Amino acid sequence: MEVSETDSELSQPQDDPVSVQQIIGEIKALEKELTEIQEVCGHTKYTVKNSQDSSSKCFSLRKICDSCNLDLGYPSRDEVDKWANS
């Protein structure tokens, strides 16, 4: 399953009342699935990209795994330079 920020369309009409509990249950199930994928992933390939911090809402450069989308931490200075020059 691919997770992409560009796919998040929030303009859906909200005609059908959907159970909040059902949505929360689905989110929990998907998060569990994602965590399981991330736990077995070797994070062999990653991309340096601008990522929004969930707590501070600030954007910062992070290393994001290409396979599982896990935040692998801050890139090194070399990696930042490479990102800036690409």
Site for Zn ion, residues 28 to 57, rule: CB under 5 A: 41, 43
**Span near Zn ion by CB under 5 A; candidates 9-17, 24-32, 50-58, 70-78:** 70-78
Residue with smaller CB distance to Zn ion, 48 or 68: 68
Residue with smaller CB distance to Zn ion, 45 or 57: 45
Instruction: Give the SS3 label for residue 70.
Output: coil
Alpha helices in 1-86 (DSSP H): 20-40, 77-85
Residue with smaller CB distance to Zn ion, 45 or 77: 45
Contacts within 8 Å (CB) and 24+ apart, 79-85: 79/48, 80/48, 82/48, 83/48, 83/49
Where does this chain bind Zn ion (CB under 5 A)? 41, 43, 65, 67-68, 70
